Structure 1
Amino acid sequence: MAQLCQLKEIDLSGNTWNRSISQILDSCSGCLSDSLQLLRLTDSQIYGHLTYKIGQFKTLISLDLSNNSISGPIPASLGNLSSLRDVSLVYNHISETLPESLGQLVNLERLEIYKNQIEGIVSEAHFANTTSLRFFRASDNPLTLKVGQDWVPPFQLELFDMGSCHLGPKFPMWVRSQKSLSVLVLSNTSLADVLPPWVFNFSSELFYFDLSQNQMHGRIPNLTNMGTQEYSAVDLSQNHFEGPLPLVSSKVYKLDLSDNLLSGSISQFLCSSPSEPMNMAALDLAKNRLSGKLPNCWSKWKNIQVLYLNYNSFGGVIPSSFGSLIFLQSLHLRSNNLSGILSLSVLQNYINLVTLDLSGNKFGGNVPTWLGTSPSMLRFLSAGFNEFHGHIPDELCALNSLQILDLSNNNLSDPIPKCFNNFSIMAIKRAESLGFWYDVSRGSNAPYVEAALFLIKGKPIEYNKTLELVNIIDLSGNSLSGHIPLEITNLSNLLSLNLPDNLLDGEIPVKIGNMRELESIDFSKNKLSGEIPQSMSSLNFLSYLNLSYNNLSGKIPTGTQLQSFNSSSFVGNKLCGPPLTPNCSTNGEVTVVEKNRKEDDHEMSWFYIGMAVGFIVGFWGVCGSLIFNRTWRHSYFRFLDCIKDQLYVASVLKLRWFRETITSCYNNQ
C-alpha cells in the first residue's frame, strides 16, 4: 500500500472505464495527492464534470483527459496546481468560460482545449503570469480573444491556434512580439483588415501560417523571406486579397491562395522566382481572376505534386515544360480557356497521376489513348465540356483504379466500350478506405484533401472528404450510339450512371439490378426501346431517375422504389402504370382506347336517354291534350276528315290547289 502511495504516473489510456471523472479522482486522492505527477486517461469513455477535486494533486505536472465525454466547466482549482506544465482536454464537451486562475500557472508550457464548447472572453488576465507558455491551442470553441492592441504577452509562443474563434476585425498586433512562433493559425476568426507588411518577417521560425476563411483584403506581401524552414506552408485562401501574385521563397512547400480576387498574369510569379529549384509540393491558385497564357517556366517547379489552376481565365495551350512535373499526382485545370491537343510528349511522364481534371476548356482532337497506359494510378478523369471527338478508346479500360470517368458534353460518337467492366474499383465494394488525399504536408500541416465537382442526381455537387466513396460514369451530351453494354452492369459499386442526350438505342440492360449501389440513373433523351427491366425496382438506394423522352413501352415495374419518383421521370415514352396516370391492360398496354370507348358509350347512353325523354314529352304533349281536352279532340278529327276529302279531290283535279286547300281546312277549324 505504501508503494501505491508513491506512484508518480498513472497512464490508463485506451481502457474502457465508463466511469465519471469524479469517481476516478476520488479513487486517486488520499496519499496520491502528494506524489502524482502524470495522469493520462485518453480514449477511456470517461464522462461527468471535472470537479474542484483536481486541485488536490499539488504535484501534478501533466494532465491529459482528451477524447472523452467530460462536460461542465474547467474548475478554477486547476489554477492552484503551480507545478502543472502540460494540460490537454481536447475533444470533450467542456463548456462555460475559461477560468482566469489559469493565468497564475507560471510553469504551464502547453494548454490544449480545442474541440470543446468553451465560450466567453479570453482576456489578458488569462495569460497574466504564463511566462513559460509555448503551445496554446483553443480552436473550434465559441471563444473571443479580447486584448489591447498594445498588449505585450508575457510568453514567447511556438504554436498559437485559435481557428474558428473570434479575434477580429483587426489583425492582432501582439503577434509581432512572438520571435519563436512556428505555427500561427487564425483561420475563420472574423478578421477584416489589411495584412501588415511585417507579417512574414517577424519570426524566422515561422513555417505554417493559416489565415484562411476571413475577410482580409489588399495586396499580399512578397513571401521571399518566408520559409527558412524546409517545409513552410502558407494558407491565405477564401479572403478578399487582390492584385498580382506575390513572389515566394524557394523553401515554401505549400501555398494556397485560392478563392480570392487575385488578377493578372502568372508569368512573373513562375518565372521571376529564385534560380534554385522550388520546393513547392502543393500550389493552389484556383478561383481567382488570373489570365493570360501559361508560361513555359515550369521546369523549376518539378517537385509539385498537387496543382490547382481551375476557375481562372488562362488561355492558350499547355506549355512543353509542363512535362517536367514528373511527381504530379493531382492536376486541376477546370473552367479556363485552354485549348489544343493533349500532347503525349508533355503529359506521358505523369506516372504518379491520380487526378486529372480538364473539364470546361476547349481541348480538342481524340481522347488520348496514352491516358490508359502512362497514368496507371489514375482514379479521377474528368474531361467534360470540351471539344473532343471520335470514339472512346478501349485503352481507357486499362485504368482499373478509375473511380470517376467524366467525358460529358463533347462530340464523342460510336458505341460505349464493352470493356468498362474492367474498372474494378467500380465493381468491388471496398472493405477499407483507399484515401483520396495527398501527403504533401510536413511538420504540423494536414494532408491535402482532394476535391472535385461533377453532376450527380441532376445537379452539380462538390465532394472533398467523401470523394473516395464516389464512383461515377458521366457520358452525357455526346453522340454515342448503339446499345448500353450489358457488361456495364458488372459495376456493382457504381454510384451514378449518366448517359442522357445521346443516340443510344436498344433496351435497358436486363441485369441493371445488379448495380446495387446506384443512387442516380439518367438515360433521358435517347432512343431506348422495350420495357423497363423488372430488376430496376430492386435498386434500394436509387434516389434519382430520369428515363424521359425515349421509346420505352409497357408497364413500369411495380415496387416501392420506382413508384416513388415523379411522373416527369417517365414522360415522353409509351409507358403505363403508377406513377403515370394511364392504367395498363393485362398485356401491359396503355388502356387509352378502352377508356375512350367507355367515354363514347357513356355519351351514347345519355343520347338515347335524351331521345326517349324527348319522345315521351312530345307524344304526351300532343296525345295527352287530345285525350283530356274534348274540344281539341273534336277539332283535331274534323281536321283529319277535311284533309282526307280534299286529298281525294286533289287526286282527280289539279294538284296545284293542294296547299290552298290545306290552308282552307286549317282556317275553318
Structure 2
Amino acid sequence: MTSLKVLSMPSGYNNGNLPNQGWCELKYIEELDFLDNNFVGTLPSCLGNLTSLRWLCLAGNYFSGNTTSHSIWRRFTSLEYLDIAYNQFDVPLSFRHFSNHTKLIYLDVGYNTIITDTEFQNWIPNFQLEFFAIEGCMNLQKLPSFLHYQYDLRILVIDGNQLQGNFPTWLLENNTRLAGIYSRDNAFDGPFKLPSSCHLHLEMIDVSNNKLNGRIPENMSLAFPKLTSLNLSQNYLEGPIPSKICGVHVFYLDLSHNFLSGGVPSDVAIGSPALGYLRLSHNKLKGQIFPKYVKQRMLSFLYLNGNNFEGPLPSNMFITSLFVLDANNNSFSGKIPRCIRDNTRLLQLDLSKNHLEGSIPVEICNLKRIQVLSLSENSLSGLIPSCMSSLSLQHIHLERNQLGGTLEHVLFNFSSLITLDLRNNNFRGNIPHTIGSLNTLNYLLLSTNQLEGQIPNQICMLNKLSIVDLSFNKLYGPLLPCLGYLTQAENDVEISSTKYATTSTYSWLNFLHWIRSKRHYHDSHGILSDISLMDVETQVQFSTKRNSYTYKGSILKYMSGIDLSSNRLTGEIPVELGNMSNLPALNLSHNHLIGRIPYTFSNLQEIESLDLSYNRLNGSIPVGLLELNSLAVFSVAYNNLSGAVPDFKAQFATFDKSSYEGNPFLCGYPLDNKCGMSPKLSNTSKINGDEESSELEDIKCFYIGLVVSYGAILLGLAAALCFNRHWKRAWFRMIESLMFYCNYFVLDNIVTPIKSRWYRNVG
C-alpha cells in the first residue's frame, strides 16, 4: 500500500510490538493514529522514513525509550500534530530534539517521564505551538524554558505536576491569544495576579487544588472580558468574593474549598446572565444568597453546602431553572418552603445537616423529575408524603430526623430506587411485604427505629442488594436462609454518580485535526465538547470494624455488608449465610441466636468484620475460620462456646482475649484457660487472687448482715413487748411452755438414759 496516506487504529486493543517491517514503503503516509492500544516496546526505526507525516498519535500505549536517542524524532520535520501522552517515554526537559520542527502546532507529552538535560537549555524554537500539554509527568520540577519563546499558544495544560513557586502569570502576558490555561493539582502559592493588560481571548482558567492565598483580585471580569469558566477551588483564598468576578459570558464559576467570607455579591447573579454553574461550597460565607429582586433564569447548578448561611430558606434560592440545589451543612432553619413546587426541573435536592423542622411538604411531589432527595440530619417530623412513591427517585436520604409512621406507603411502587436510608427515625410497625417490589434497590438502611415483627421473605427478592442495615430495632423470629444469597449479584447500576448534561459552546475551537481524535482534554476540561457532565456522588454510611464509615463514589460499588445486630432474632444461624463469599462485613451481635457457628463461614473469603457476640451460641469455634485471611475484626464474646479457640496465627494472631471473653469454657491462648484443665485449675492465679478475695468479702458481708438482721428482730420484739400488755403475757406463756417441753425432753431423752446406764454399771 505504497500510496496509503492515512492509517488509523484507535482503541483497537492490540498488544505486543509494532511490526518492524513494512513502514519504509509508506513514503506518502501523512497520518498515523494508534490511540489507546496496548503496544509495547520501542518504535520501529523505519518510521523515521515517513518524512511526509503530519499527524502522529501514539497516546494511550506502553511505548518506551528516550525521545532524543532515537533518530526518528528528529526526522519528523513535517509534523504538525504529535500526541505521545500516556506512555513510558523519557522526554528531555529542553525539548531540543524538536528544534527543527517548524510546522509543529500541537504537542502533548503528558503522563511520561521528564528527564533533565543540560544541553541547549535556552534554545529558541523554530515553531509556535497552539496547544501544549505536559500534565502528570514524573520528575517535572519546572516549566520548560522554551515556553518563554512561545507567543501563539491557545491551550496550555500543566495539570498534576506539583510545580511550585508563584503562578506563571508571564504565560498570560506572552500569549495574548491564549484561550484556556489549566494548572490544577500543582503547588503554586502566593496571590493570583492578573496580567498588566486586558486579555481579550482567555475563556477558561483552572488553577484549582494549588496553594494560592490572599484575596481574589478585583476586576477579574475587566481583565478577562471573554471569560466563560473560572475554577479557583481548593486553595487558601480568603476575604470577600469580588463584585466584579463575573463577566457577562461566565457560565462556570467554582470558588469552593477556600476561606472566603461575607455574603454573595449581587453582581454574581446580576452581572452574569449566562451563569449556569455556581459552586461556593465549603467556605465561610453567610448573609443573603441573592437579592430579592434577582430573577436568575440560567442558573442550573447551585452548590452552597458547607457554609454559615442561616435563617429561613429564602424563596429566591429555589430558582425554577435549577437541576441541582445543594445547601447541606449550613444553619438554615424553619420549614421547607412550599414554593419548592415550582422547581419542576429539579433532579437533585440536598438540604441535609441543617435545622429544618416541620413536616415534608406535600408540594415536593410536584418534582416529577427528581432523582436524589436528601433531607437527613434535620428535625423533620410527621409522615412521609405517600405521593412520593410516584416520583422517579433513585436515592432517598431521610436519616437522623424525627419522622414516624409505618412504612407501607413508603416501600411501594419505587421502580427505580437504588438507595433508601431511613436510619435514626421513629418508624414503627413491620417491614412491609411490598419491599419485594423495589427490584433495583442496592442499599437498604433502616437501623435505629421501632420496627418489629419478622424479616419478610420478600427481602430475598431484591437480588441487587449489597448493603442491608436493620440493626437496633425490635425484629424477632429466625434468620432467613435466603439472606445467604444476597449481595452476590454484580452491581450493574451506575452508583458512583448521577450525570446531568448541560450545553455550552466554545466558538474559538477551530483546530482542524483536534476534532478527529477521540481522547482529548475535553474529557476532563470541557475544552472541545459542547456537553459538560456534572456529577453527583452517591454516599452511604455503614458500620463495620466497630466504626461507622461513609462510602461514596466508585468505592461504594465494591462495598457490601449485612448488619442485623441489636434485635431479638432467635433460632440458629443458617448455614446458607456461608455462601456470601464476597461479603466484607457481617454483624449478628446482641440477639438471641442459639446453636453452633456454621462451618460454612470458612467460605467468607472476603470477610473483614465478623461479629457474633452477645448471643447464646454453643459448641466450638470452627477451625476453618483460620482460612479467612482478610479478617480484621472478630468477636464471639459472651456466648456459651466451648473448646479450643483457633490457633494464634495468621489473622487470628491479631485478636486478643476480648474477642472471646464471656465464654468460660473456651480455652487456649490468648485466654488464661489452658486446654486440658478445668477452668478453675487452669486459672490458679486468678482463683488465689481475685476469686479468693471475692469469697472472703462475701463471707464477711454475710456475717455482718446476719448480726444486723438478728439485732433488728430482737429490738423490734422488745419494743413490742414494752408497749403491748397482751403481747407481753402471751410471750411469757410461750416461754413457760417452751421451758416445760425442753425440761421434759432433756429429762426423758438425756438424763434418764444416763442414770439407767450408770446404775447398771455400778451394779
Task: Tell me the residue number matched to 1:301.
Answer: 343
Change (3 A) 1:312 1:474: farther
Matched, 1:421 2:421: no
The alpha-carbon deviation at position 211 of structure 1 amounts to: 2.3
Task: Tell me the residue number matched to 2:283.
Answer: 260
Q: Distance in 1 between matches of 2:332 and 2:431?
A: 33
Equivalent residue runs for 1:160-309 within 5 Å: 160-174=181-195, 177-196=198-217, 198-199=219-220, 206-220=227-241, 232-244=251-263, 248=269, 253-261=276-284, 262-265=307-310, 270-271=315-316, 277-278=320-321, 280-309=322-351
Matched, 1:494 2:539: no
Task: Tell me the residue number matched to 1:521.
Answer: 610
Q: Distance in 1 between matches of 2:414 and 2:36?
A: 42
Equivalent residue runs for 1:346-425 within 5 Å: 347-353=388-394, 355-359=395-399, 361-366=400-405, 368-425=407-464
Task: Tell me the residue number matched to 1:615.
Answer: none
Kindly provide the CA deviation profile for residues 243-301 of structure 1, in whole angstroms up to 9, marking residues without a partner as x.
44667578655544333332223756652566xx31x3334444445555433332343
Query: Contact between 1:92 and 1:115, CA under 8 Å: does it hold in 2?
Result: yes
Q: Distance in 1 between matches of 2:218 and 2:571?
A: 63
Query: Contact between 1:110 and 1:135, CA under 8 Å: does it hold in 2?
Result: yes
Change (3 A) 1:356 1:521: farther
Q: Distance in 1 between matches of 2:323 and 2:142?
A: 39
Query: Contact between 1:168 and 1:189, CA under 8 Å: does it hold in 2?
Result: yes
The alpha-carbon deviation at position 576 of structure 1 amounts to: 0.9
Change (3 A) 1:165 1:493: same
Task: Tell me the residue number matched to 1:638.
Answer: none
Change (3 A) 1:202 1:575: farther
In the alignment, structure 2 segments of 5+ residues that lack a partner are: 3-23, 285-306, 467-485, 503-530, 689-763
Q: Distance in 1 between matches of 2:550 and 2:610?
A: 18
Matched, 1:6 2:28: yes
User: Residue 115 of structure 1 aligns to which amino acid in structure 2?
Assistant: G
Kindly provide the CA deviation profile for residues 338-369 of structure 1, in whole angstroms up to 9, marking residues without a partner as x.
3213423463243241x33333x223314533
User: Residue 135 of structure 1 aligns to which amino acid in structure 2?
Assistant: I
Q: Which has the larger radius of gyration?
A: 1
Query: Contact between 1:123 and 1:146, CA under 8 Å: does it hold in 2?
Result: no
SS at match of 2:205: strand
Kindly provide the CA deviation profile for residues 407-435 of structure 1, in whole angstroms up to 9, marking residues without a partner as x.
33334444444544333134354567643
Q: Distance in 2 between matches of 1:175 and 1:499?
A: 67
The alpha-carbon deviation at position 40 of structure 1 amounts to: 1.5
User: Residue 42 of structure 1 aligns to which amino acid in structure 2?
Assistant: A
SS at match of 2:46: helix
Q: Distance in 1 between matches of 2:222 and 2:343?
A: 24
Kindly provide the CA deviation profile for residues 224-251 of structure 1, in whole angstroms up to 9, marking residues without a partner as x.
967858xx44433322233446675786
Q: Distance in 1 between matches of 2:609 and 2:687?
A: 43
Change (3 A) 1:435 1:172: farther
Q: Distance in 2 between matches of 1:200 and 1:440?
A: 28
Kindly provide the CA deviation profile for residues 183-238 of structure 1, in whole angstroms up to 9, marking residues without a partner as x.
32211111123334544676676554332221222334679967858xx4443332
RMSD: 4.0
How many residues end up aligned between the 2 structures? 581
User: Residue 435 of structure 1 aligns to which amino acid in structure 2?
Assistant: E
Task: Tell me the residue number matched to 2:112.
Answer: 92
Equivalent residue runs for 1:606-621 within 5 Å: none
The alpha-carbon deviation at position 337 of structure 1 amounts to: 2.5
Q: Which structure ranks higher in relative contact order (CA pairs < 8 Å, sequence separation ≥ 6)?
A: 1
Task: Tell me the residue number matched to 1:482.
Answer: 570
Change (3 A) 1:413 1:554: farther
Q: Distance in 2 between matches of 1:293 and 1:259?
A: 23
User: Residue 455 of structure 1 aligns to which amino acid in structure 2?
Assistant: S
Alignment equivalent of 1:438, drawn from 498, 511, 525: 498
Task: Tell me the residue number matched to 1:64.
Answer: 83
SS at match of 1:374: coil
Change (3 A) 1:552 1:313: farther
User: Residue 264 of structure 1 aligns to which amino acid in structure 2?
Assistant: F
Query: Contact between 1:356 and 1:382, CA under 8 Å: does it hold in 2?
Result: yes
The alpha-carbon deviation at position 553 of structure 1 amounts to: 4.7
Q: Distance in 2 between matches of 1:461 and 1:96?
A: 44
Task: Tell me the residue number matched to 2:64.
Answer: 47
The alpha-carbon deviation at position 64 of structure 1 amounts to: 0.9
SS at match of 1:114: coil
Matched, 1:340 2:381: yes
The alpha-carbon deviation at position 592 of structure 1 amounts to: 0.8
Query: Contact between 2:28 and 2:50, CA under 8 Å: does it hold in 1?
Result: yes
SS at match of 1:462: strand
* TM-score, normalised by the number of residues in structure 2: 0.66
Q: Distance in 2 between matches of 1:432 and 1:379?
A: 11
Q: Distance in 1 between matches of 2:248 and 2:355?
A: 29
Query: Contact between 2:311 and 2:331, CA under 8 Å: does it hold in 1?
Result: no
Change (3 A) 1:68 1:377: same
Matched, 1:32 2:50: yes
SS at match of 2:65: strand
Query: Contact between 2:61 and 2:87, CA under 8 Å: does it hold in 1?
Result: yes
Task: Tell me the residue number matched to 1:568.
Answer: 658
Query: Contact between 2:361 and 2:385, CA under 8 Å: does it hold in 1?
Result: no
Change (3 A) 1:474 1:223: farther
Task: Tell me the residue number matched to 1:650.
Answer: none
Kindly provide the CA deviation profile for residues 499-530 of structure 1, in whole angstroms up to 9, marking residues without a partner as x.
44x44433466354554433222344x43332
Q: Distance in 2 between matches of 1:175 and 1:457?
A: 57
Q: Distance in 2 between matches of 1:223 and 1:396?
A: 53
Change (3 A) 1:578 1:175: farther
Q: Distance in 1 between matches of 2:197 and 2:232?
A: 15
Change (3 A) 1:286 1:337: closer
The alpha-carbon deviation at position 85 of structure 1 amounts to: 1.4
